[in-house]
Each structure stands twice: as C-alpha cells, then as structure tokens.
C-alpha cells in the first residue's frame, strides 16, 4: 500500500484483482425498485447504476437475496433465478460501458423478515428462535410485530452455505467484477455472530469459534467460486440495527477478522457505529469508537469505511491510513457524479429521504449531474 503521506481520495487503489482510479466507493443501498413478482432488476435499475458509474470507480450494488427465503425487504432484488441474472447483466453492462467496476452484495435477511414476504407464508429462519423487539411495516402500510423465527437445522445451515456459493456463481454469470458478503446490520450472518441472537448449543453456537463458523464457511465457499481477491465482507461491529448487538464486540470481531484475514479476502468493509440505523432518520451517535480505527491494526489489506462521511472526514480517514477507501451512501443517491463533485469541490444536491424506498424514477434516476 502507498505511504500514508502520499495517499488521497483520488489516489489509485487496487482491491484484490480490481484496479481503481480513485477511492470513492458507492455503498450498497437498498432502494426497493426491483420488479415484483420475481425480484428482478429492471432497465430503470440499470439506468440508475449507470448514472453513478465513474471511470475506474467502484460501485457495491444493493443487498441482493441469495435465495427466496432470504428476502427481507419489499421489492429487493435477488440473484437466485435466471431472470434475475439477466436483469443484473443489464446493470453490469451499463456500469462497464462507463468504465466503472461493480461488486454485488450477497444477502440473507434471516429473522429480519416476515411470513408475508416469504414463499408459502413460511416463518423467517434464524440461528435461534429469538424475535426482534419491535414492529415492521407489511403490505397495506400496516405495522405488525416481528414474528419469532424458526431455528435452522444443521442440514439447513449447510444448504445456506451452498446458496451463497450458487449466488456467487450467478453473480459471475451476470458479469459482476466481484462480490461482497453482507455480514452487517442485524441480518443472518450477524445473527450467528451475536450472543443475543445465537443461543445454539451445537457447533454454531456458544464459543467465539462456533459463532464465527457460519460467516467463515460462507466466505470460504464464495471465495471458492470467485477467488478470495474478488471477495469482500461488510461488518457493523458496534451496530444496533434490527435489535442486534454484542455486549463486548472487540473479542468477537477480532476473532472473525483474523479468520477472514487468513482466508485472504480482498477487503473488509466496516460501518461506523455513528451511522447504524440511519435508514429511517438522520442519526449521528457522537462519542462512539471508530470501527476503522479500532480494527485497522488487525487488517493488512484494503479497508473501506462507511458511515455519515462528508468530504472532510473522508479525506482525513484516507490520509491518516485508518481506511483505504470511503463508501458514500446518501450523497451518492442525490449526486450521480459524486466523485467528480468531490474532486472539484462542487456543491452537492440535497437528497430527499421520502423517496428512498418508493417505486418510480422520482428520487432515483432524476437527480441532475453537473452538466445537466
């Protein structure tokens, strides 16, 4: 890696086998605009990602379910059917046409779902039968309590590892440049990691070795499809999303990150704790530790930091060496040409939170670029 005294947001970077011309990354952003039924990416999705592609820049596409039982959010896309692969191929073509790079985020929601969103009205699945405290919105705008999920069998856990591997292969067929495994925000992998959601007494619960086992098995299986230098993982060590938390995150995540380092993954993507839960409101939990600062000494490959960054904090994080690249979310929603705006110091468009999860082009493909 380049000396910290020479590095800026606009220095080149290589993520595994993927060369980049700058260090501004588009974070994975659920936008609820896949076609339903089928959860298939559409030409509008291809337009959206194509608008945000920049020469030599990296996009991490939104959380994408690896199986029908992995769906947790209305109109979220999948990567488990031929139609979905074809839909995503339109997206990757649009990004590559502008010289961009794009990874797909592989996702299983686990207990962060509801029977109304799952095949056969099945209960959500999780490592243990522990319900989320609180409510979620279902069709018709009704708010209902989260259901108690069904605990997975050992055989089902192995089937899930295979589902991630198949999804990784489907992402290759759709001509992505790599994949990111979603291990953050209270979803299935994190449910296995945390003591409050994993009450198992078999090889997948209890000790740190056991609680990280599923995440490492998934990472190993996905790396077997892509090669480790095209695979990353996203984590939220101090996150509180979906009623998820670990009493003492440092030992757990140090253990997991050590295992990922031994696998040789291309990058680690850490969500800063100040940004956990920002999907519904403006949140900035001041005074909490920086995940990137804490775990940087344990990770010698590319580290991406995400979480309420602005231009100043992004520049400082990269210049200090605490992170190698910065992922932007909401700013990329409103500014399809964000890297160019940051490089030139051009004023940014304001995002409209009310359109984050709506269905049409408003607030999706209609934000202007500088030349418009």
| H or E element in which residue 137 lies | strand 135-137
Catalytic residue among 187, 204, 267, 364: 187
Are the CB atoms for 13 and 302 separated by under 8 Å? Answer: yes
Taking the C-alpha atoms of residue 42 and residue 191, their distance in angstroms, rounded to an integer, is 31
- Report the candidate in 40, 41, 46, 26 with the shortest Cα–Cα distance to residue 95: 46
Are the CB atoms for 164 and 66 separated by under 8 Å? Answer: yes
Is 267 annotated as catalytic?
A: no
| H or E element in which residue 48 lies | helix 43-51
Terminus-to-terminus CA distance in the chain, angstroms? 37
Taking the C-alpha atoms of residue 324 and residue 340, their distance in angstroms, rounded to an integer, is 19
Taking the C-alpha atoms of residue 299 and residue 144, their distance in angstroms, rounded to an integer, is 41
Q: Which two tokens stand for residue 267?
A: 């990058």
Catalytic residues, by residue number, are 187
């Amino acid at each position: 890696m380049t000396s910290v005294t020479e590095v800026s947001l606009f220095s080149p970077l290589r993520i595994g086998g993927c060369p980049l011309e700058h260090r501004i990354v588009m974070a994975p952003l659920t936008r609820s605009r896949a076609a339903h039924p089928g959860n298939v990416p559409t030409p509008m999705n291809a337009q959206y990602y194509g608008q945000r592609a920049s020469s030599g820049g990296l996009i991490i596409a939104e959380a994408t379910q690896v199986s029908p039982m992995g769906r947790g959010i209305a109109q979220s896309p999948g990567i488990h059917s031929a139609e979905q692969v074809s839909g995503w191929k339109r997206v990757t073509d649009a990004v590559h046409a502008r010289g961009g790079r794009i990874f797909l985020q592989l996702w299983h929601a686990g207990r962060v779902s509801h029977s109304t969103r799952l095949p056969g009205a099945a209960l959500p699945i999780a490592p243990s039968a522990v319900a989320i405290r609180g409510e979620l919105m279902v069709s018709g705008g009704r708010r209902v309590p989260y259901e108690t999920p069904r605990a997975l069998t050992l055989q089902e856990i192995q089937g899930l590892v295979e589902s991630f591997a198949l999804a990784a292969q489907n992402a290759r067929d759709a001509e992505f440049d790599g994949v990111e495994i979603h291990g953050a925000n209270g979803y299935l992998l994190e449910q296995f990691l945390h003591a409050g959601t994993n009450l198992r007494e078999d090889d997948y619960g209890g000790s740190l070795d056991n609680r990280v086992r599923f995440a490492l098995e998934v990472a190993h299986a996905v790396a077997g499809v892509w090669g480790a230098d095209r695979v990353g993982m996203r984590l939220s060590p101090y996150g509180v999303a979906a009623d998820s938390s670990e009493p003492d995150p440092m030992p757990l995540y140090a253990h997991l990150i050590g295992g990922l380092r031994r696998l040789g993954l291309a990058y680690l993507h850490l969500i800063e704790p100040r940004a956990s839960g920002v999907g519904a409101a403006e949140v900035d939990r001041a005074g909490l530790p920086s995940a990137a600062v804490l775990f940087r000494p344990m990770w010698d490959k590319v580290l991406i930091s995400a979480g309420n960054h602005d231009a100043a904090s992004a520049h400082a994080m990269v210049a200090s060496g605490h992170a190698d690249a910065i992922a932007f979310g909401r700013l990329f929603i409103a500014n399809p040409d964000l890297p160019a705006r940051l490089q030139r110091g051009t004023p940014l468009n304001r995002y409209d939170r009310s359109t984050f999860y709506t269905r049409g082009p408003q607030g999706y493909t209609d934000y202007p670029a500088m030349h418009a």
